[in-house]
Structure 1
């Protein structure tokens, strides 16, 4: 038998059996960002993008993506999420405008919600791009990464955010 949990006895992919895992409260926080030009920044903040309220639509897209993660990530278990919260902040330096995206996902279950948080952060950023691409296709998405997770037998994880200095992913506005 393989020591890799996502492979069966034949070495082929399988979904891990979590039947016997304890149900606990699980949380995950992920972040992403979208670098935009001044025109897009002004249009988003003034709600002047022709497709509508960019942040409202992106927020709904992120929530929908979190709920559908198992539909697009093959080995993810379908989860009954208990909460998804997406917030935005701006970090502006000189002529660079970074929309910071923070996603927190919660459930009570037998497996973690890291993939749901990361998928939501990615879909949120992609939706911002989609809604603003008519103005400028030069936007830059990312990085996207896990900040922390709690619950489960592997314990908690918390990223040292000081290691991210210079990546324009902080919470300051």
Structure 2
């Protein structure tokens, strides 16, 4: 990320904005990657739970789209440049690549759990980091994302916890 910031009247010191922008762009990359991985599951799911999982995965991708937009807009509000192309996301994401050799619905659910859990952990860590930097607004943004991601993780895990 370029250290050059755009002018803003937001009263956070520049060094804090630079630090927060770095965190936001890391989250943006990971959220974009997660969204495309959820769409990968959405397009390729097969099996008796196809329709329900196909719809669930589409809802999840839509929700992630909202987070992506919120994260990118917060970057620009703070005077930064949102780093949101597919190549930027691939280079900056902390998630493992999505497996392409699975089709079964529960295998897709498991793969998504394995990606949502580290994203949830990352989001929770950034709440504390942005709060410690004195940016309560960004911490609040992350808190909202955290609640939603934890709920999605719960919904996914419930599929795997059912007795067979």
- Which one has the bigger helix percentage? 2
Q: Report the TM-score, using the length of structure 1 for normalisation.
A: 0.28
Q: Report the TM-score, using the length of structure 2 for normalisation.
A: 0.29
- Which one has the bigger strand percentage? 1
Higher relative contact order (CA 8 A, sep 6+): 1
